[in-house]
């Protein structure tokens, strides 16, 4: 073996120095451009906290963080900044310079401006979203796509989420819900404290697995490689609000994420191959409108156009990779946000016994007094789930107070947002973060903005002060990029409440949890101990410790 000579060593050192110098120059140039954007915005009088030419708005963050829990979701901090620094003669919006942690940002807490960004202009999804979604979905997906590719993919999956077809899935959802109910019975008998969020996540994983893959995962009761890998990937996912550098730069993370990706991709690829083999041998197998079948239908349609070529015996690898990413996205989004919503429904109903009594009375009227017959009635008469106006109001009010996610859009040259006072806000060079929690609790637009009042959603008179403002409720977003699975999510929550609220008393155990985990740190947001933390989407703090008891 020939050892490297002095010249080779010097070349390696030189290459390393050049790489470091290039990185420094890149950071300096990009940082200068970011600061220049805000220098110009400041000259135009745009709303923002006190700005420093070197540190931007980084100094504005620590005072806010002192009054919030360490693990509170980022939107809570930015909502507090918006309230503290918005102009009195302007709508709820501020610009934030968080370089090098983020590109120039507009924080939007106004429904008027949110409607313009997402509906009137339908601004594109920015590249920054890839950093969040790629570890979970594995690549460019329906949520991050723009342009013709997004339109084609959206059109392909639309029919799988039509109201009529989703209602036909009631029986499948009830199957998984009955396993969830039995799990709650076991905890009631054992009289143990447990994490409601964790148990509910596994439950919704099984629900979305059925709808997406047309097969049962059984992850509530046994190990499933796909479900376990995805839940593990979420736990290892580092978000922007992680300040601990030992966690943020953990050298083990890339290897764990690679293994999780391998597990998920292998499982889904095998399902795709299995369904394709069934389809090619028996075309009657194509009657389902599950996500996996809709993806295959699009592939088969493309193959049919190539009339002079025989049907391939195996799936094209490029298609399999694309379909795997979309399926991973649906499984992540379909279980993560809905599980959180169910937990917050229980939390708010516990805190408002009069609302819980009305909910139970509505279920008695629709499903009958024998709660043992509820599941069978939903299977045989799924249309009964459309006769639950108060239940729907409870769910919508829970989503208003605790939305599981926010929206992000990218600005464009020449596009300005304008508030009702005539102020115009340039979007070029910024990412717009529409904070759903802040929009839906904005006191300028919502009477008793922090109060749980399901009656808001039963008001018919548009002049009533409680009547929700247009575009003010947006947990599923609005416009062309609204959530494809919102009908399924609402059905999931209705079925869950119908099978649980009359059989169980579900009570949070935060006081007990805090005695076992004493701390002097802040543990409330807006007076709520079940404040939202970031774990994939927004979830209740500390996994929502709770106890369940059987009602007599």
CB 484 within 8 A of CB 150: no
Q: Are strands 407-410 and 431-434 parallel, antiparallel or unpaired?
A: antiparallel
Type and span of the H or E element at 409: strand 407-410
Which is nearest to 177 in space by CA: 378, 369, 402?
Answer: 378
Distance from C-alpha of 335 to C-alpha of 63, rounded to nearest angstrom: 35
**Tokens standing for 302?**
């493309």
Whether 291 contacts 159, CB under 8 Å: no
User: According to the annotation, is 483 in a ligand binding site?
Assistant: yes
CB neighbour list of residue 390: distance below 8 Å, 6 or more residues apart: 358, 359, 362, 454, 458
What residues contact 282, with CB distance under 8 A and at least 6 apart?
Answer: none
Query: Which of 309, 291, 305, 458 is CA-nearest to residue 390?
Result: 458
For residues 236 and 71, give the distance between their C-alpha atoms in angstroms, rounded to a whole number: 15
Please report how many Cα atoms fall inside a 13 Å half-sphere around the Cα of residue 316, on the Cβ side.
Answer: 12
| Residue 347: partners with Cβ closer than 8 Å, 6 or more residues away | 508, 530, 540, 544
Which stretches does DSSP call E strand in 460-516? Answer: 504-508
The helices-and-strands tally (H runs, E runs) of the chain is 20, 11
* Numbered residues of the known binding site for heme: 483
* Numbered residues of the known binding site: 483
């Amino acid at each position: 073996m020939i050892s490297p000579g002095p010249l080779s060593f010097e070349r390696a050192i030189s290459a390393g120095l050049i790489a470091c110098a290039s990185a420094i120059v890149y950071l300096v140039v990009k940082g200068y451009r970011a600061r220049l954007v805000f220098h110009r915005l400041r000259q135009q009088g745009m709303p923002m906290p006190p700005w420093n030419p070197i540190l931007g708005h980084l100094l504005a963050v620590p005072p806010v963080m002192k009054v919030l829990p360490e693990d509170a979701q980022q939107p809570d901090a930015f909502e507090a900044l918006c309230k503290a620094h918005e102009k009195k003669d302007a709508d709820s919006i501020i610009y934030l310079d968080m370089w090098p942690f983020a590109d120039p940002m507009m924080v939007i807490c106004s429904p008027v401006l949110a409607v313009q960004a997402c509906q009137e202009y339908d601004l594109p999804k920015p590249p920054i979203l890839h950093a969040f979604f790629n570890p979970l979905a594995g690549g460019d997906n329906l949520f991050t796509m723009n342009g013709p590719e997004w339109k084609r993919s959206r059109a392909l999956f639309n029919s799988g989420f039509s109201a009529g077809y989703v209602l036909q899935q009631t029986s499948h959802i009830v199957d998984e819900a009955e396993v969830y109910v039995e799990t709650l019975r076991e905890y009631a008998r054992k009289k143990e404290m447990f994490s409601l969020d964790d148990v509910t996540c596994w439950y919704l994983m099984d629900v979305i697995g059925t709808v997406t893959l047309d097969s049962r995962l059984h992850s509530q009761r046994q190990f499933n490689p796909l479900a376990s890998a995805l839940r593990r990937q979420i736990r290892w996912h580092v978000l922007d609000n992680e300040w601990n550098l030992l966690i943020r730069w953990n050298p083990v993370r890339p290897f764990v994420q690679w293994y999780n990706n391998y597990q998920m991709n292998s499982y889904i690829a095998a399902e795709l191959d299995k369904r394709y083999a069934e389809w090619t041998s028996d075309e009657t197998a194509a009657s389902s409108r599950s996500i996996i079948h809709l993806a295959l239908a699009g592939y088969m349609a493309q193959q049919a156009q190539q009339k002079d070529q025989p049907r391939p015996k195996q799936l094209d690898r490029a298609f399999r990779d694309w379909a795997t990413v979309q399926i991973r996205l649906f499984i992540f989004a379909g279980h993560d946000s809905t599980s959180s919503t169910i937990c917050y429904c229980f939390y708010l109903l516990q805190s408002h016994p009069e609302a819980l009594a009305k909910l139970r009375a509505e279920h008695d009227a629709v499903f009958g007094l024998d709660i043992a017959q509820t599941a069978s009635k939903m299977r045989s008469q799924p249309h009964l789930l459309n006769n639950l106006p108060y239940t729907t109001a409870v769910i919508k009010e829970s989503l208003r107070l605790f939305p599981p996610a926010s929206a992000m859009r990218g600005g464009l040259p020449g596009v300005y947002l304008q508030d009702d006072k005539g102020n115009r806000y340039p979007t070029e060079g910024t990412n717009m973060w529409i904070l759903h929690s802040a929009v839906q609790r904005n006191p300028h637009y919502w009477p008793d903005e922090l109060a749980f009042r399901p009656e808001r959603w039963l008001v018919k008179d548009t002049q009533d002060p409680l009547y929700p403002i247009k575009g003010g409720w947006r947990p599923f977003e609005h416009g062309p990029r609204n959530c494809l699975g919102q009908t399924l999510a609402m059905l999931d929550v209705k079925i869950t409440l119908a099978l649980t609220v009359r059989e169980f008393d579900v009570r949070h155990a935060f006081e007990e949890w805090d005695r076992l985990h004493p701390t002097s740190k802040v543990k409330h947001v807006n007076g709520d101990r079940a404040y939202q933390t970031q774990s994939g989407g927004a979830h209740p703090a500390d996994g929502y410790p709770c106890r369940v008891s059987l009602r007599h």
